[in-house]
Amino acid sequence: MPVSSGSKARKILLIGDVSRAFLDAEAVREPACQVTTNMADAIEAASKNSFASVAIVMSGLSSKLSPALKALRDNCGAKIILLAQMWEEPIAMRLVGSASNGTTVADDYLICPIYFSSLASHISYLEGRTAASQGVSIHAEPVAPVGVDHTIEMKIRHLEKLATEDDLTGLKNRRYILEFSRQIIERSRKENGRVTLLIFDIDNFKHYNDVYGHSAGDEILRQAAVLMRRCCRGQDVVGRIGGDEFAVVFWDEPQAKSAVMPAEGGERRSAMAEHPKEVVSVAKRFQKELEKTEFHLLGPEGKGLLTISGGLASLGRGCSTVQELFQQADRALLEAKRSGKNRIYLVGRPEGNIADVE
């Protein structure tokens, strides 16, 4: 069981290789921190001490992170913060959102690399937010080496969101998608992983904007974003990269080997199923969801009116860089448009259209 919070020790417990998370790793030292390199030692330390918070460097740790976090939670009452590289953000989001006996296994995450002071600031912010939500005064003693104005932390988080998200759809923006793709390709090369990119846009989108107005166009984009995310697996990253053009990065997430995704007729498919077959399944499902969705701003004929054209390209099929992956997918998208729209073309297959892929 966790040690009583009455203990005077208010260190930050840091787990993992701090050089992977901090731009100033030399700032991570006693008495502010206790550092352990593995989860077993961290769980033991957490059971014997009262920490202000626990921060976990995700990179380099075992792929079985979720069970370890549950064990850590059982032995520690402190806030648990994940320190993730950009490509690990989908994993971090899932861990923060997953629950064990009604309690999430992690409280928040930060994208690295960061300065140690940023972690200290965020810890102070979380503590203050928790105290405010419980209707108690914020403890005067700082839980980290620096005093922090919580409004600054909130502004930083807001700016980070503006820099990485599309404000209309809530999807990731082009800048994020490009950097995420670069990182996930680098990781996939090292671990023989698989990456597939889908680029698609809304057929005749300009017509809908001109005839029904920009509010209708915005609603189409928002609904398309919701539908695409609903069709994808948890680790896949969906973004709006410009106008009515979207991108989806499909990749293998080691921690999701047991994860499943709904398929046609209630069948369940493994998240580690073969690329691009699994991706084709997602794309086809998205096309069918569009057909079933009512777009009220387009009038009574709105249901089944919208279609998309897209291009699929996979790493290793003539693509070895981010630029090549996007170029291949773009070419396939253009070919789909030239061939009559309402289709998705797959690079490297003679039949092209995924409608012909079993």
Token couple for 105:
């296994």
Please name the residues in contact with 123: beta carbons below 8 A apart, sequence gap of 6 or more: 12, 52, 53, 55, 79, 81, 143, 144
Between 346 and 296, name the one with better pLDDT.
346
pLDDT in tens, 137-156: 433 333 444 444 556 656 66
pLDDT for position 302: 73
Token couple for 81:
């913060």
pLDDT in tens, 171-181: 999 999 999 99
Predicted confidence band at 6 (pLDDT cuts at 50, 70, 90)? very low
| Integer Cα distance of 246 and 249 in angstroms | 10
Neighbours of 274 (CB within 10 A): 10
Between 302 and 343, name the one with better pLDDT.
343
What does the pLDDT average to over 174-203? 93
Q: Which parts of the chain fold into alpha helices (H)? A: 39-48, 65-74, 89-97, 116-133, 150-164, 174-191, 205-212, 214-231, 277-292, 322-338
**Taking a C-beta distance cutoff of 8 angstroms, is the pair 214, 297 a contact?**
no
pLDDT for position 10: 67
Predicted confidence band at 100 (pLDDT cuts at 50, 70, 90)? low
pLDDT for position 156: 65
Q: Hey, where are the domains in the chain?
A: 12-164, 174-356
User: 36-44, long-range: CB within 8 Å, 24+ apart, which pairs?
Assistant: 39/15, 39/68, 39/71, 39/72, 42/13, 42/15, 42/72, 43/68, 43/71, 43/72, 43/75
| Integer Cα distance of 344 and 341 in angstroms | 8
Q: Yes or no: is domain 174-356 CATH 3.30.70.270?
A: yes
Q: How far is CA 273 from the centre of its chain?
A: 20
pLDDT for position 338: 93
**Taking a C-beta distance cutoff of 8 angstroms, is the pair 315, 198 a contact?**
no
For residue 60, CA distances in Å to 96, 171, 324 come to: 19, 28, 28
Please name the residues in contact with 242: beta carbons below 8 A apart, sequence gap of 6 or more: 174
Does the model's pTM come out above 0.75?
Answer: yes
What is the widest separation between alpha-carbon atoms in the chain? 70
Please name the residues in contact with 141: beta carbons below 8 A apart, sequence gap of 6 or more: 10
For residue 103, CA distances in Å to 97, 109, 131, 301 come to: 10, 16, 18, 45
**Taking a C-beta distance cutoff of 8 angstroms, is the pair 242, 217 a contact?**
no
Please name the residues in contact with 276: beta carbons below 8 A apart, sequence gap of 6 or more: 196, 250, 312, 314, 346
- The CATH class given to the 12-164 domain equals alpha beta
> Do the two domains 12-164 and 174-356 of this chain adopt the same fold?
no
